[in-house]
Amino acid sequence: MQATGLTDIGLVRKSNEDRLLIEEAIGLCMVCDGMGGHKGGDVASSLAIQAFKDSLGLFKQQEAVEWLNESVTRANEAIRSCSKKNPELFEMGTTLTAALLKEQELLISHVGDSRLYLINETGIRKLTRDHTLAEQMMNDGLLKPEEMSNNAYNHVLTRALGIEEEVIIDHLIETVVPGDIILLCTDGLSDMLDEDEILSIINEFGPDIEGAAQRLIASALNNGGYDNITVILILV
């Protein structure tokens, strides 16, 4: 496994509320996006990352899925605890998308709308589901897929860390093979580039994931850069 990560404040925001973590020794990568419009988004995303760092010592003592689940739960508790102690941080929250690569098995834990894509010779496939009101409305038949791209409800989260006492976590397991590329990103990238544009850039750079990550950030900035932009690329 090779991994690289980049984050950029973008062209509009005054601070970067995105955070990322790469722990190649255990095959872990994750991105967090502090909730926009809430005070302390950067605090929430930083607390989530720190919760995972603090859990690394338990990794070999637990099953991987159990470890991921408990780490997300600890992150949620840390954010809620901090929020209760600091009124100015009330209702802060963050998304979290974590990927744990064990040989040819990819374990994913996901809350919010930061995405994970799998890219290989068959194309690009989004493995995560956005926890947004727009996505929920589409699933309920109230929105058509073609009405999703510019819908105002795309950024209304239905799940995030730090908001509820118990957080609902999506767990996914995917088989990967050598040569596959995994992309984790915040919506600062996925809002600026569609899947065809992402795939084109990945294909252009091939195994040069550092070059691809730089180009993805640059392209998102060129397309407006309205939000913080964070990218992790993993070459299996």
Residue 189: the pLDDT is 98
Going along the chain from its start, the domains and CATH numbers come out as 2-229 (3.60.40.10)
Long-range contacts of 50-56 (CB under 8 A, 24+ apart): 50/78, 51/75, 51/78, 52/21, 52/28, 52/98, 53/21, 56/23, 56/26
Residue 150: the pLDDT is 73
14-20: average pLDDT: 95
Average pLDDT, the chain: 94
Residue 91 falls in which region: left (phi positive, over 0), alpha (psi -120 to 50) or beta: left
Tens of pLDDT, residue by residue over 155-173, are 889 999 999 999 999 999 9
User: Residue 123 has which token pair?
Assistant: 């194309």
Tens of pLDDT, residue by residue over 113-166, are 999 999 999 999 999 999 989 888 888 878 887 777 777 788 889 999 999 999
- Rg of the chain over all Cα atoms, to the nearest angstrom: 17
Percent of the chain scored above 70 by pLDDT? 99
* Separation between Cα atoms, residue 151 and residue 203, nearest integer Å: 29
pLDDT category of residue 201 using cuts at 50, 70 and 90? very high
Q: Is the CB of residue 27 less than 8 Å from the CB of residue 101?
A: yes
Residue 87: the pLDDT is 87
Q: pTM for this structure?
A: 0.94
DSSP three-state, residue 101: strand
Residue 112: the pLDDT is 97
Tens of pLDDT, residue by residue over 50-87, are 999 999 999 987 899 999 999 999 999 999 999 999 98
Residue type, 122: T
Residue 36: the pLDDT is 58
Residue 161: the pLDDT is 97
